Amino acid sequence: MKFTYNWLHDYCKCDLTPEALANALSMRGVAVEDFHNAGDDTCFVLEITANRPDLLSITGVAREVALLTGSQLALPKSDFSRAGADKPFPVIVEDKNLCPRYTGQAIKNVKVAPSPDWLKKRLEAIGLRPVNNIVDITNYILYETGQPLHAFDMDKLIGQKIIVRPAKKDEKIIAIDGKTYSLTPDMLVIADEKRPVAIAGVMGGLETEVSMSTKNILLESACFDLVSIRRTSRKLALSSDSSYRFERGVTYESVQTGSERATALITELAGGAPSGELVDVNCISREKHTIKFRPARAKKVLGIDLPADHLRKILTGLGFAIVHETPVFYELEAPCFRPDCRDEIDIIEEAARIYGYENIPVSVTLPMAIAIENKSDRVDEITRSVLSGAGYDEVMTNSFIQPAMQKDFDFWSKDGPVNALEGQTPSDKYLRKALSPALLGVIKANEDYKETSAERFFEIAHVYFAGSGENMFSEKTVLAICAKSGDIFELKGVMREIFDKAGIAGVSYKFGRHSCLSFDETMVVTLADGRPAGVIGKITKQAADRLELRCMPAICEIDMELLYENAGLARTYRKFSRFPAVKRDLAFVIDKAVQWSEIEAAVRAGNPANLEELSFFDAFEGGKIPQGKKNLAFSLQFRANDRTLSAEEVEREMQKLVSLITGKFGAVLRTF
């Protein structure tokens, strides 16, 4: 939107310099993109947002400036007299939704000539090329009022009538830019009896444009559907000042105001006289929009109490009419040119904008507190991250499950499943007491649908047991993991990573037994304090058959509440050593029943000097290993923070460890 400083002064005589005016507008939310000298005037370029079509006119900007500066707003007058009582020019609107209002004013005996210098200078200052007095006046009124206008050479209209209709198939028009445009039926046109004479809301046609020989004109002022205009403009790749404004919304009221203002200027600058009354095809009645505004609500939202007289001045200055006033609220009638103000909060925002956000004191109205990380949420996050990274998909299964599917999956309770819904069917009234059966059900469903892309799943959810007293049941948060083609060592590996990242040390994995898990492929997961935390195993053939599975997946169930309790999430930091590490491997022939977790615990309890890392890497039986024994190998890494370790220092610690393991476990250091 462009306007000049002197042009603005016609409607609002403010005392601000151009620089101060640019700053005042910007501080009140009207962005001034640029202002520069234009001869003896200053041209302003505003960046107008789509919700403020009222600022696409100089009178709209003047309304803002008058309110900001306390000056008087003087809107232009439309004084002219009509000649005779000619028959109104016929106007037919075929689609009332696409053209809610159309006016036509016939003006006869005009003298088309160059515009006066003052009009030329104003148009040139905002970048428009003067054409002739009639065309220049329509452009001038467009910028003054925001209402697009078009003048037809009335004598060139075939049939002496205007028809507002959709374009016909394969119809074409030569626009005033000299280009031919192919029209489609979804475009609205202004036509005479035989052809389109304008692309509605976008551009007029060349055949009926005003020329130096024009004597009689028909002045069009209308309101078109903004979606239709936008679609037409984009489809034809044709934009104009008129289409820009129609796309953002032109008010019903400005249709007549703009027409009358242009008529007055034409009679003044081009002679002629309006012939007959204004033809006004007003298709849709417009109801006035009222808003209930409560000053108390504004105070609560803004944190300040605006004085009543100041608030009233802001509201009326913005164009709102106070229809009814009580000590509690104002009933306001929204101005037609502010379609963005529909609710009370919009009024509050406008009041704050005009008052000035910089004048609202900064205050903390809410207590501030540092959020403390929830331990359980963090452990869940770690668990999900590890499992997702290992290729497992998280699922959410139903809490209700048939008793037959839960048989033998009594990891957490030997009691039967909880009957939560008396009288319902067996399939949907028993709460689950383990998560694994539902995950195995997911695998079965995938088998039935021959879905092979997803074979690993996990779920973190509640399991339920019979309660006591008033509690019908109690619950526990459990992690279940299921791998269709995996083994127990795969599940053990992901659990080790979860425990490590959650800061839970000393976890052991000992072979055990469970009725639904294979005898030699079941591990009990035990915390350092001796409490069992869960189980890892491969389901038996009997359990797989009962669930109608064609495979025997590996499963794992872990008590997440024990993980929450024992997680060590506090991070400690230490300086990296600049000295090299020394790595050693040890291998022992040891009793088959001894677990790596026992060896690890014994080594760490011995607290070897400068031991940095300890990790298991191999275990096997057979070959040269005696019956009932196994080979168990692990790596050690030593490093000091203040020096490079000597071979003697490392060897001394290695001998201590060998003596510890051979003495405690009856192991033999493997040397072959």
Q: For residue 361, what pLDDT is reported?
A: 84
CATH topology of domain 2-69: Phenylalanyl-tRNA Synthetase; Chain B, domain 1 (3.30.56)
Q: Which residue has the tokens 């037809």?
A: 152
CATH topology of domain 375-566: BirA Bifunctional Protein; domain 2 (3.30.930)
Q: For residue 227, what pLDDT is reported?
A: 94
The amino acid occupying position 619 is A
Q: Which residue has the tokens 């083994």?
A: 487
Q: For residue 377, what pLDDT is reported?
A: 92
CATH topology of domain 91-282: Phenylalanyl-tRNA Synthetase; Chain B, domain 3 (3.50.40)
Fold match flag (375-566 vs 582-669): no
With a cut of 50, list the residues of the chain below it in pLDDT: none
The domain segmentation of the chain, as residue ranges, is 2-69, 91-282, 290-359, 375-566, 582-669
Other beta carbons within 10 Å of 129: 10
Q: For residue 369, what pLDDT is reported?
A: 62
What's phi and psi for 338, nearest 5 deg?
A: -120, 70
CA 247 vs CA 63, 184, 240, 296, 586: distances in Å: 22, 19, 11, 37, 80
The amino acid occupying position 276 is G
Q: What is the CATH number of domain 582-669?
A: 3.30.70.380
Q: Angle, to 10 degrees, between the axis of helix 295-302 and the axis of helix 344-355?
A: 60
Q: For residue 144, what pLDDT is reported?
A: 95
Report, at the CATH architecture level, how domain 290-359 is classified: 2-Layer Sandwich (3.30)
Sequence-ordered list of residues with C-beta below 8 angstroms from that of 242, at least 6 positions apart, any chain: 142, 148, 150, 201, 202, 203
**Cα separation of 524 and 509, whole Å?**
6
**Cα separation of 10 and 463, whole Å?**
78
What's phi and psi for 381, nearest 5 deg?
A: -65, -45
522 touches 514 (CB < 8 A): yes
- Residue 198 tokens, joined: 């304008």
Q: For residue 368, what pLDDT is reported?
A: 61
Spell out the alpha helix ranges (H) of 469-573.
488-501, 541-546, 560-566
437 touches 457 (CB < 8 A): no
Interval 120-150: pLDDT, tens: 999 999 999 999 999 999 999 999 999 999 9
Dihedral angle sign, alpha carbons of residues 23, 28, 33, 35: negative
Q: For residue 293, what pLDDT is reported?
A: 93
**Cα separation of 283 and 285, whole Å?**
7
Other beta carbons within 10 Å of 515: 11
**Cα separation of 163 and 426, whole Å?**
72
Q: Edge-to-edge, what's the strand order for the sheet holding 31-38? A: 2-4, 41-47, 31-38
